[in-house]
Amino acid sequence: MCGQIAKLCVFCGEKPDRKTKEHVIPKWLIKLTGGDHRQAFLGVKYSDGPDNLAVHRHALSAYTVPACESCNGRFALLEELTKPVVVKLLSEQPISAGDVEILLDWLDKVRIGLWLAGRMIGTNVFRAHEPNFHIAHRIGWCDRWASLTLLPEQVGEGLTYAGVGTPMFGSMPSAFSIRINRLVIQNASSPRILTRWLGLPYPATKRVRTPDGLMFHSHICFGKNRVLPRMMDYGRPFNGLEVFQPAYPFLLKDCERPFKSPYAQRFFVDLERLRAKPLFATDREIRAFEELGKSEFAVMKHLPDSSFPDHFSASTLHLQNYVSLIGLYSGAPVTEHVFYRQRHLSRGLRKLNNLLLRKMAAQWADPTKSNDGFGELELGLKVLSI
């Protein structure tokens, strides 16, 4: 095991000029969900080596990461804009398409922030390398999706997240879940998870033979110009309204031909920048909207049973496996060796998630077993947290 990664700004990845602290879980959210002094379970700390695993707990309000002053100011605005959207969702007041975009931006921010924080505090098993992206690089970078569920009002206050402690998340921060009082959000972002199923141009991997051997590139394929069945079909076990936005990490001028079809062009508010309209889906339709109102809130409602927390955690792991299988590793061209090594790693991480799912199922069957790893650690047994 190697030492901790450098303390760089979580937003831009540079060494902070004037260092400030960014709350991984924003203060307004801590306040909204029950106050300052709660302890958060932040997973198992791996950084002291395999023989010294310890559960990492922290007061939520002291869970901070470094940020430069200018980035912190810029992203504070996103927090200010997000709070009223969450409050409106909790109280079932209509939200606009712009509000949904703000929420998707914020979920990108929190998801990547939790991943970077995991690397800094040592609960991420993949912290051996410096991260090659930070929050500012990943907001709206590729397809993003969220499922919004509203539990009955008597559920009460609370903040829970799921999926951020898995080795899968450590390797690829593409999917997690968060519960904010009665609002449950499952969230995923990865190239191709939406565009291919919406019939839009989508990224794929292409093998190119070069004098130095096989190289694997990402390239853009023509869309099918129709909606394909089973988009984001990972077996969600509760009701929810799916809201999402296709996105590409380039501009139209970089890749024009696949976007010439009138079918594809309908999806964009700003074709030059390939900025797509936010959409929602129910069992029967996918459509653009100006406002989510009463009938959409009806789709979000779910009456939980006592096993809801278990479903909340388990379905997050299923979501991670789905995204790992359907999404695309996207980045600079890689050699054959690196490509197959990445594929092998993804397969191993999905297997590990399946193992965790079996372990969780055994724990539910026998409630005397601990499910946060704390009991096992006290007995000196090795655990993996989820």
For the CB of residue 11, give the shortest distance to Zn ion in the complex, in Å. 4
For the CB of residue 9, give the shortest distance to Zn ion in the complex, in Å. 3
Tokens of 90: 């909790």
CA dihedral 175, 306, 85, 318 (to 10 degrees): 10
Nearer to Zn ion, 12 or 159 (CB): 12
Interface residues toward Zn ion, by CB under 5 A: 9, 11-12, 68, 71
Nearer to Zn ion, 75 or 176 (CB): 75
Alpha helices in the chain (DSSP H): 27-32, 69-90, 97-121, 135-138, 167-171, 262-265, 294-300, 308-326, 336-365, 374-378
For the CB of residue 21, give the shortest distance to Zn ion in the complex, in Å. 13
Nearer to Zn ion, 132 or 210 (CB): 132
Residue type, 251: L
For the CB of residue 73, give the shortest distance to Zn ion in the complex, in Å. 10
Nearer to Zn ion, 68 or 103 (CB): 68
Question: Apex CA 358: angle with CA 54 and CA 351, to 5°?
Answer: 85
For the CB of residue 72, give the shortest distance to Zn ion in the complex, in Å. 8
Q: Tell me the C-alpha distance between 222 and 211, whole Å.
A: 28
The residue with tokens 């141009």 is 201
Nearer to Zn ion, 71 or 112 (CB): 71
Q: Tell me the C-alpha distance between 280 and 29, whole Å.
A: 25
For the CB of residue 41, give the shortest distance to Zn ion in the complex, in Å. 28
Could you tell me which of 143, 82, 148, 70 has the C-alpha nearest to residue 109?
82
For the CB of residue 20, give the shortest distance to Zn ion in the complex, in Å. 9
Nearer to Zn ion, 116 or 151 (CB): 116
Tokens of 134: 């930070």
Nearer to Zn ion, 83 or 137 (CB): 137
For residue 100, with 0-12 CB atoms within 10 Å meaning exposed, 13-18 middle and 19 or more buried, which class applies? Answer: buried
- Other C-beta atoms lying within 10 Å of the C-beta of residue 202: 23
Helix, strand, coil shares of the chain as percentages rounded to 5?
35, 25, 40
